[in-house]
């Protein structure tokens, strides 16, 4: 988080519908903030599918941490991770965004981040990679990994 954003006690979050950046005061993140442009709820607690354009808004320009799951629909371990990531998205809705990049549909993003195996989880904050985990992980392992990476 930048000094300016932290000093203001707010995070920049991209709207899941229109991808506009919304400044959300940290103290009010749990109050279901809405996008001033399209009126959609900003922190939904659900994983968000990203393409190149949405990736730029949610990962590179926003300051809320984003956990990106690089996956493919034919991958068994990826499908096993889906409920774990759904739960993490709901439990940490005000602390981080969970997003998914289908590597079959977005090969340019997979290539850009050197994805060699799936699933691969990358945790970003303000466009910078904080941590990376390849392979399926259970809910407890994911929670521990996120807690370590975010401190």
pLDDT at residue 151 in the model: 87
DSSP 8-state secondary structure symbol assigned to residue 27 = G
Alpha helices in the chain (DSSP H): 3-8, 52-55, 76-91, 107-112, 139-150
pLDDT at residue 3 in the model: 38
78 belongs to the catalytic site: yes
Two structure tokens written together for 17: 């519908």
Instruction: Name the pairing type of β-strands 120-125 and 66-71.
Output: antiparallel
Say how far apart CA 50 and CA 99 lie, in whole Å: 7
From 15, 18, 35, 78, active-site residue = 78
Beta strands across the sheet bearing 97-102: 48-49, 97-102, 66-71, 120-125, 128-134
| pLDDT band (50, 70, 90) for residue 9 | confident
Longest distance between any two alpha carbons in the chain, whole Å: 44
Two structure tokens written together for 2: 């930048």
Strand partners, 133: 121
Say how far apart CA 5 and CA 23 lie, in whole Å: 9
75 belongs to the catalytic site: yes
pLDDT tens sequence across 42-65? 999 999 999 999 999 999 999 999
pLDDT tens sequence across 63-119? 999 999 999 999 999 999 999 999 999 999 999 999 999 999 999 999 999 999 999
Two structure tokens written together for 90: 């709901």
- What's the whole-model pTM score? 0.92
All domains of the chain, ordered by start, with CATH? 44-150 (3.40.30.10)
pLDDT at residue 8 in the model: 61
Q: Which residues have a Cβ under 8 Å from the Cβ of 119 and sit 6 or more positions away?
A: 69, 70, 71, 75, 77, 78, 81, 134, 135, 136
């Amino acid at each position: 988080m930048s000094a300016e954003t932290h000093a203001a006690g707010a995070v920049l979050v991209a709207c899941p519908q229109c991808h506009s950046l919304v400044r959300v005061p940290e103290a009010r993140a749990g109050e279901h903030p809405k996008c001033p442009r399209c009126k959609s709820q900003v922190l939904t607690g659900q994983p968000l599918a990203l393409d190149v354009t949405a990736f730029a808004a949610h990962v590179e320009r926003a300051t809320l941490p984003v956990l990106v799951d690089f996956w493919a629909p034919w991958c068994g371990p990826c499908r096993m991770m889906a409920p774990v990531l759904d739960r993490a998205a709901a439990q940490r809705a005000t602390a981080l965004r969970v997003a998914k990049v289908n590597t079959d549909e977005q090969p340019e993003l997979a290539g850009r981040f050197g994805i060699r195996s799936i699933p691969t989880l990358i945790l970003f904050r303000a466009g910078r990679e904080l941590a990376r985990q390849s392979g399926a992980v259970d809910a407890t392992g994911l929670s521990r990994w996120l807690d370590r990476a975010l401190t």
